[in-house]
């Protein structure tokens, strides 16, 4: 059996049965092995950022790693930005990166690069397979790391000669055991209980990571109901389960001024899989840390813990284990479709249209800033945001989310600027017949940068600066772009059209795109 065959067998036997791929010559033995080994679903992306972003979305929905298949250093480099996002989201991924045969590396052929060095900044673990004999063991270690808690970006570099050489048999190893979950730190738990018992009105429970999954957030809701503390989530979360019947957790605002204002009244902040809040960017004369000076930060649990268990223990500590979870009444903003087309009416249309158990992938940037509150009463759904800030995350993550959660509808909310970083994802959606509706908000600018230009104190922009932030020359036509990749597409120029087109797209069951003219 070749090393490539051993690798595919080992992945499948260890539960990694989806591979997002953009292969080249050095990966042909892996591709060939797919013909002879059952159980691996291989999904082609036309650009590597699609591949790595899809693996991120897949992990977020399944809590299991997918594999990627990437071609040498430059192919890996094209996938780094979405690996950055996945790493910040603590998604587990097994990257398989082909490299030249070891003897060929010394010849400095054109595609030669230091693959380990390319991988390192956006990986938690990098390993070059040294021998065909170690393929199975090295692969199992990568899967173990990518499946751990916290999960890791595990990058396994496979030199071509290790792929094509005959190797050892696949070991009949059991799947790697899940790592044990440590209990919450007892002194942090005691401090959190103390704050909630005595200073609940000035205490914030700040949730991140898996603490905004419904089973965990419901405990936070009981704690809030019993103690009167506030509950918020970080601005970015990997997957928030929200909507009608669930405890509503509002996001910390993005802007420094709004976030510091929101946090000003809290002298205690209890972090549950969240970080001490910091500004996304630094601005002259503004703070980097967002909490009130002198406030006490209690780090209750991190990604290595079980957030649901931690919050249940906290609820026990404050006597809040009974009672219904406070949940929105299901009211949603009225009559979005009757209003002029703007952020508010779009949010209302969304809230009315989000189907039960939908997955919303949010890269709407400036247009989507206020979707949070408006959609809290929508049908129960999952909401995914970009943890790493590298744009081009949304369409690829939608691909992976759809493959990870078959039977659920995916809505990808995109700015036109951000969608242009990885538009190739549309093609994979069509190829795989994914139930994804892409909504592109076409404001024809890097709108967020107009605000940022002022925020950083760079003054009023002149003609040349504005030119760098404006995408209207030429106008991007998303209907043509989608059709160019085989996707049905429409254009909505009023809230009523958006409402009608969104309902039709969601009902169609196949992928489609709506360009919203702003």
CA dist., res. 120 & res. 396, Å (int): 22
Tokens of 275: 């970080």
- Binding residues among 380-399 for a second copy as defined by CB under 8 A: 386-390, 392
Is residue 28 close enough to count as binding a second copy by CB under 8 A?
Answer: yes
| Site track 155-194 with a second copy (rule: CB under 8 A), x = hit | -----xx--x------------------------------
Tokens of 296: 């006490």
In angstroms, what is the minimal distance from the CB of 74 to a second copy?
Answer: 3
Candidates 239, 427, 438, 512: give the one binding a second copy (CB under 8 A).
427
Q: Say if CB 184 and CB 301 are below 8 A apart.
A: yes
Candidates 17, 64, 111, 369: give the one binding a second copy (CB under 8 A).
111
Q: Say if CB 99 and CB 164 are below 8 A apart.
A: no
Query: Read out DSSP for 145-170?
Result: HHTSSS--EEEEEEEHHHHHSB-PPP
- ω into 285 cis (within 30 of 0): no
Is residue 449 close enough to count as binding a second copy by CB under 8 A?
Answer: yes
Candidates 180, 284, 294, 407: give the one binding a second copy (CB under 8 A).
284
Which CB sits closer to a second copy, 92 or 277? 277
Task: Give the residues across from 34 on adjacent strands.
Answer: none
User: How would you classify the pairing of strands 230-233 and 250-251?
Assistant: parallel
Candidates 1, 7, 11, 21: give the one binding a second copy (CB under 8 A).
21
Query: Read out DSSP for 311-343?
Result: HHHHHHHTT--SSPPP---S---S-GGGS-SSH
- Site size for a second copy, by CB under 8 A? 103
CA dist., res. 238 & res. 213, Å (int): 9
- Binding residues among 470-509 for a second copy as defined by CB under 8 A: 471, 473-487
In the sheet where 93-99 sits, what is the strand order?
Answer: 41-44, 18-21, 66-71, 93-99, 153-159, 125-128
Is residue 289 close enough to count as binding a second copy by CB under 8 A?
Answer: yes
Is residue 293 close enough to count as binding a second copy by CB under 8 A?
Answer: no
Which CB sits closer to a second copy, 120 or 190? 120
Tokens of 455: 């925020």
* Range in contact with a second copy (rule: CB under 8 A) among 130-138, 345-353, 365-373, 427-435: 427-435
Candidates 226, 465, 504, 517: give the one binding a second copy (CB under 8 A).
465
- Binding residues among 62-101 for a second copy as defined by CB under 8 A: 73-75, 77-78, 80-81, 84-85, 88, 100-101
* Range in contact with a second copy (rule: CB under 8 A) among 178-186, 278-286, 309-317, 341-349: 278-286
């Amino acid at each position: 059996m070749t090393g490539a065959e051993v690798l595919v067998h080992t992945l499948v036997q260890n539960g990694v049965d989806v591979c997002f791929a953009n292969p080249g010559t050095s990966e042909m033995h892996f591709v060939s092995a797919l013909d002879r080994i059952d159980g691996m679903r291989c999904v082609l992306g036309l650009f590597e950022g699609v591949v790595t972003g899809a693996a991120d979305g897949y992990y977020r929905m399944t809590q299991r790693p997918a594999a990627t298949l990437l071609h040498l250093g430059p192919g890996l480099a094209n996938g780094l930005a979405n690996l950055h996002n996945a790493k910040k989201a603590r998604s587990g991924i097994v990257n398989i990166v082909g490299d030249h045969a070891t003897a060929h590396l010394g010849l400095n052929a054109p595609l030669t690069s230091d693959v380990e060095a390319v991988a390192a900044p956006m990986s938690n673990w990098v390993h070059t397979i040294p021998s065909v004999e170690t393929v199975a063991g090295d692969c199992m270690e990568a899967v173990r790391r990518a499946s751990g808690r916290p999960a890791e970006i595990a990058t396994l570099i496979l030199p071509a000669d290790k792929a094509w050489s005959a190797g050892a048999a696949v070991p009949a190893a059991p799947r790697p055991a899940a790592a044990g979950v440590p209990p919450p730190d007892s002194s942090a738990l005691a401090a959190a209980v103390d704050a909630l018992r005595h200073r609940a009105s000035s205490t914030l429970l700040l949730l991140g990571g898996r603490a905004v999954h419904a089973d965990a957030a419901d405990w936070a809701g009981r704690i809030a109901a019993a103690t009167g503390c506030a509950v918020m989530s970080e601005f970015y979360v990997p997957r928030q389960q929200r909507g009608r019947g669930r405890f509503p957790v509002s996001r910390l605002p993005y802007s420094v001024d709004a976030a510091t204002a929101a946090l000003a009244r809290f002298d205690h902040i209890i972090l549950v899989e969240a970080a001490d809040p910091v500004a996304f960017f630094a601005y002259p004369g503004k703070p980097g840390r967002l909490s009130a000076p002198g406030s006490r930060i209690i780090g209750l649990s991190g990604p290595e813990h079980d957030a649901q268990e931690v919050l249940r223990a906290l609820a026990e500590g404050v006597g809040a284990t009974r009672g219904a979870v406070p949940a929105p009444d299901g009211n949603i903003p009225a009559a979005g479709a009757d209003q002029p087309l703007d952020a508010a009416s779009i949010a209302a249309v969304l809230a009315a249209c989000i189907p039960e158990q939908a997955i919303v992938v949010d890269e709407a940037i400036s247009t989507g800033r206020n979707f949070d509150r408006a959609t809290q009463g929508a049908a129960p759904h999952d909401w995914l945001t970009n943890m790493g800030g590298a744009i081009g995350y949304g369409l690829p993550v939608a691909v992976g989310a759809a493959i990870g959660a078959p039977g659920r509808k995916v809505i990808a909310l995109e700015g036109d600027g951000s969608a242009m970083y990885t538009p190739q994802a549309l093609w994979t959606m069509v190829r795989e017949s994914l139930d994804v509706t892409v909504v592109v908000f076409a404001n024809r600018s890097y709108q967020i940068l107009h605000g940022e230009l002022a925020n950083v104190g760079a003054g009023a922009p002149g003609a040349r600066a504005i030119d760098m932030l404006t995408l209207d020359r030429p106008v991007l036509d998303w209907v043509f772009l989608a059709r160019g990749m085989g996707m049905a597409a429409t254009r909505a120029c009023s809230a009523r059209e958006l409402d009608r087109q969104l309902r039709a797209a969601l009902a169609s069951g196949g992928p489609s795109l709506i360009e919203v003219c702003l």
